Amino acid sequence: MVTVSYENVDKIFDDGTKAVSNLNLEIADGEFLVLLGPSGCGKSTTLRMLAGLEDISLGEIKIDGVRVNDLPPGARGLGMVFQSYALYPHMNIAENLSFGLKRLKGENKISNEDIKIRVEEMADMLGLTSELLKQPKELSGGQRQRVALGRALIKRPKVLLMDEPLSNLDAELRHQMRGEIRRLHEELGCTTIYVTHDQIEAMTLADRIAILDRGELQQHCEPMEAYHNPANEFVKGFLVRHLNEIKETADNLFKS
């Protein structure tokens, strides 16, 4: 059972900017939560505090009930996928996937045979078996993003964090990868927190969404609950009106 909780969390930068204000948020075991909001709303900062990449100014973050405020990133049992693929260009795909496993030490160390098995299993799951000996530059954008996702998952993290991982892909690939990410989540059941500003992405991926504006949580619920019962004018404008406009545009195109 892997839960995540933010308890009265603030993030204040050195220049006095308050990026996150009194955040209280519970992510259930195995849940796919999407942090949604416009640029600058505090969603990436919220994710980075959990990852240990940003200090917490006030409050507590807990993983499975354990306070992690002062734990280094590597001790939190997290996997993270960034906007950029961040693959090692001089390594082939098998080496990129296995890199983190080979660096494990002590009681966490894994044998070379087990590493090989994990790489093969992950490649099969991601449709990359025939690409293992290729360099990243030989792959498509969608394939490179799959490698980045596989590199995070192969360590079997307690929680998977994703910060706008599809923003560098074209529309068709984004649609394809959304399906892949949701399929993998359902197959693996990993507690997942995903950052995006894309309303369609949030609605199609999330079990629940947490909508942020100016560092404050506006609504936390299932996607369709937010659509049918927006908590305030911000949610109504940012989520509902935007989705209605997309639907209206699609309807007009279909009619023409």
Q: pLDDT tens digit string along 112-166?
A: 999 999 999 999 999 999 999 999 999 998 899 899 999 999 989 999 999 998 8
Judged against a pLDDT cut of 70, whether residue 254 lies above it is answered with: no
pLDDT band at 227 (very low <50, low <70, confident <90, very high): very high
pLDDT, position 118: 94
Encoded tokens for 5: 């909780």
Judged against a pLDDT cut of 70, whether residue 253 lies above it is answered with: no
Q: Residues 235-246: what's their mean pLDDT?
A: 91
pLDDT, position 167: 85
Judged against a pLDDT cut of 90, whether residue 208 lies above it is answered with: yes
Mean pLDDT of the chain: 92
Q: Cα angle at 80 between 38 and 134, to 5 degrees?
A: 115
pLDDT, position 247: 77
What does the alpha-carbon distance between residue 50 and residue 42 come to, in Å, rounded to a whole number? 13
Q: What is the pLDDT of residues 182-200, one digit of tens each?
A: 999 998 899 999 999 999 9
Q: Dihedrals φ, ψ of 60, to 5°?
A: -135, 145
Q: Are 58 and 23 in contact (CB under 8 A)?
A: no
Judged against a pLDDT cut of 70, whether residue 256 lies above it is answered with: no
Judged against a pLDDT cut of 80, whether residue 85 lies above it is answered with: no
pLDDT, position 103: 85
What does the alpha-carbon distance between residue 56 and residue 22 come to, in Å, rounded to a whole number? 11
Range picked from 58-67, 86-95, 153-162 for highest mean pLDDT: 58-67
pLDDT, position 52: 96
* Residue located via tokens 């600058």: 40
3-class state of residue 117 by DSSP: helix
